[in-house]
Amino acid sequence: MTVSVPGTASARTFRAAGAGCGAVDASTFAAPPEEPAAGGAAVDRAGAVFSATPPAGGGGSHFGCTPSPTALCLLGDRFRVEATWRNPRDGTSWSARAVPLLDRSGLFSFFDRGNPEVAVKLLDGGGVNGAFWLFDGRLTDLEYELAVTDISSGERRTYRRPAASLCGGADLDAFTNR
């Protein structure tokens, strides 16, 4: 993958180094400041807009999950997903901000809602193994924990991801598909 800074000659090519979860390079480019956008969203220099407002016409609400600034409601509002984070360097911790994307996915940010730290996706794998599948992808080296609740059954699962790891996770048997 080649990453370049528009309007400059700055570019860097990254190559996968065998099997693994990814890598972090915090020194390649200087971070430009973010610009505020309408409605409390943030716009990065590439023009990507991240908003904490649920997308219009989201999933049908037949299970009763209510989204909040710290909770995603996924798959027809059947699942409530919340995240907390902790910085082991200074001990700070807090609830992550939820950034809804689609009925099956969303993001969590820790410090600035325009800077996603964790991506979450829930899929209905019932036709394959009779279960719902949870995937999370990390964009941070901080510790985080996901709490996922199946509103229809009340069952709750917790997924902890340690600091300094570059791997997210996958649970292909997260909840029974009833």
Helix (H) or strand (E) holding 128: helix 126-129
Task: Dump pLDDT digits (tens) for 131-167.
Answer: 999 999 999 999 999 999 999 999 999 999 999 888 8
Residue 178 within any structural domain of the chain: yes
Residue 30 within any structural domain of the chain: no
pLDDT confidence bin for 43, thresholds 50/70/90: very low
What pTM value is reported for the model? 0.71
Quote the number of domains for the chain: 1
> Where does residue 40 fall: left (phi above 0), alpha (psi -120 to 50 degrees), or beta otherwise?
left
Q: Which domain holds residue 121?
A: 61-178
Place of tokens 């069952």: 155
Residue 78 within any structural domain of the chain: yes
Residue 44 within any structural domain of the chain: no
